[in-house]
Amino acid sequence: MNRRPSLPLYFALATMASTACSATSGERPTSQYRVVKNLFPESVQAVDLLFVIDDSNSMRENQESLAAWAENELFGVLGMPDGSPLDLHVAVVSTNVGAGSFGIAGCEADGDNGRFLQGSAGAACTSSGPFLIDVDDGIGGRTQNFTGTLGEAFACHAQLGVSGCGFEQPLEAMKRALDGSNSENANFLRPEALLAVVVVSDEDDCSAADSEVFNSDASFDAADSTLGPLSSFRCFDFGVECATDDLRAPGEKTDCVSRENSPYLASIDGYVTFLETLKGDASMVYAVGIFGDTDSIHVSISDGEPRLDPSCSSPAGSAQPGVRLQSFLGKFPDRNRFASVCSENMSGPLATTAAGINAAVGRDTCLQGPVADAQLDEPGLQAECLAVATRVRDGEQIELAPCSANGAGPCYRLIPDLESCGGTPSTLAMDLSSAGEFAQGHRIKLSCLVD
């Protein structure tokens, strides 16, 4: 019988100064409950790593940079905390799943339809099989299906060319790659493995629920709700909602998120549910996004038509803000990383990817998110949190009390840890030492009020 958590528990950190001193004493800052830590009972050795790479005509430099930096910044640093290598499956798909029956160049039929790819057509990659394998062979060596290094093999797979569809649908491509509809993709997913999805694109997700969004015969009238000119602005117009209702009007747009009730674009929540159901546990999914920043979202008018302006630029080109993709990442609190595709090169984004995956498999204990002070009239940081432990073998759930409130039984503490968690907003870690052997058999989810 599951014992569900009920009331929130306050946890005082008397050694820390209040982080909300600007608010009136006794008032709670504007905040919300959010998951700030998922902990595995033990480290995860296996990772199934899926790259979803934009193959439209503006991505050549980005693909080349991925290939150039993958060895040193990704595969050269992926590993367990003790330095041992991960057991990796690595696959690449394009963002091209076609655009229905509207005859758009590069978007014919179903495109690549989520099939694992080995570089562009005619590429002479040295691997055998649709995805790369690098795992422990059980006798002190490695089982690999490629020659050379893993970084070199990936470099060949990742350079897809730039003749793909200009209406990028990375989330739909991800789903088709993993849902079993492509028999050639079989055996990529392993039940015990962390699934890491990395999306690399210079435009936002345009995954369609209704291919009519790509209709090239549609007319445009700014006064009504027709589709408008055949451009990627449609993906923003019908896939995003902002504080202002008229997305076609020129100017800055604020508070933009995925539009979940769009008549044309697929729900982000649907793709999140797909991944959670696929793995049976949201904590076994890790999402990385390398796309356009969302700090600046601006619409302009060019030749009488609305255009979504680039939000960033680099020597490799510019990128539009990835609002829907950012919403997707946000659905995996404490299980995501973001890096700008407008970085000088892919060195930094790939290093960010490696750091995130290493933290996920290595049972990192740092809290993600600026934990709010729930009682400003009390000294120190008063964190309001709920810790739920789910027993792996049967799913039974119990609530863990903070050690300061319950001296008996398994409990948890929040401790300042500048050495390990100095790069996080709270610099706090979750300590389960008082839970002893209990913690080893459970997944722990900590939710706190955050700023």
Q: Let me know if residue 428 belongs to a domain.
A: yes
Q: Let me know if residue 170 belongs to a domain.
A: yes
| pTM, rounded to two decimals | 0.82
Q: Let me know if residue 3 belongs to a domain.
A: no
Domain boundary among 361, 385, 411: 361
Same domain, yes or no: 38 and 114: no
Distance between CA atoms of 334 and 286, rounded to whole angstroms? 9
pLDDT at residue 7, as a whole number: 44
Beta bridge partners of 195: 48, 285
pLDDT at residue 8, as a whole number: 52
Place of tokens 């057509």: 121
Residue 360 CA from chain centroid, whole number: 12
Domain boundary among 327, 361, 395: 361
Rounded to 5 degrees, φ, ψ at 287 are -115, 130
Same domain, yes or no: 369 and 356: no
Helix (H, G, I), strand (E, B) or coil at 40: coil
Residue 9 corresponds to which tokens in the numbers above? 């528990």
pLDDT at residue 40, as a whole number: 75
Same domain, yes or no: 74 and 182: yes
CB 412 within 8 A of CB 435: yes
Same domain, yes or no: 130 and 16: no
Between strands 46-53 and 194-200, the pairing is parallel
- Rounded to 5°, the CA angle 169-190-279 comes to 60
Q: Let me know if residue 2 belongs to a domain.
A: no
Domain boundary among 345, 361, 377: 361
Distance between CA atoms of 407 and 414, rounded to whole angstroms? 15
Q: Let me know if residue 4 belongs to a domain.
A: no
Same domain, yes or no: 303 and 385: no
Q: Let me know if residue 1 belongs to a domain.
A: no
**CB-hemisphere CA count at 13 Å for 179?**
13
From the CB of residue 422, how many other CB atoms can be counted at a distance below 10 Å?
A: 10
Q: Let me know if residue 330 belongs to a domain.
A: yes
pLDDT at residue 383, as a whole number: 87
| Residue 332 belongs to domain with CATH number | 3.40.50.410
The total number of structural domains that make up the chain: 2
Same domain, yes or no: 329 and 444: no
pLDDT at residue 224, as a whole number: 47
Distance between start and end Cα atoms, the chain: 34
What is the four-CA torsion angle of 49, 55, 59, 65, rounded to 10 degrees? Answer: 30
Q: Which domain holds residue 323?
A: 46-361
CB 401 within 8 A of CB 77: no
The answer to whether the Cα torsion of 223, 224, 230, 233 is positive or negative is positive
Same domain, yes or no: 424 and 443: yes
Low-confidence ranges of the chain (pLDDT < 70): 1-31, 41, 121-122, 218-225, 405-408
Residue type, 417: D
Residue 233 corresponds to which tokens in the numbers above? 């602005």
pLDDT at residue 5, as a whole number: 42
Same domain, yes or no: 187 and 150: yes
Beta bridge partners of 46: 87
Q: Let me know if residue 373 belongs to a domain.
A: yes
CB 415 within 8 A of CB 431: yes
Rounded to 5 degrees, φ, ψ at 434 are -75, -15
pLDDT at residue 408, as a whole number: 64
Same domain, yes or no: 303 and 391: no
Same domain, yes or no: 131 and 84: yes
Same domain, yes or no: 276 and 345: yes
Same domain, yes or no: 16 and 58: no
> Which of 123, 58, 115 minimizes the C-alpha distance to 92?
115
Rounded to 5 degrees, φ, ψ at 436 are 55, -140
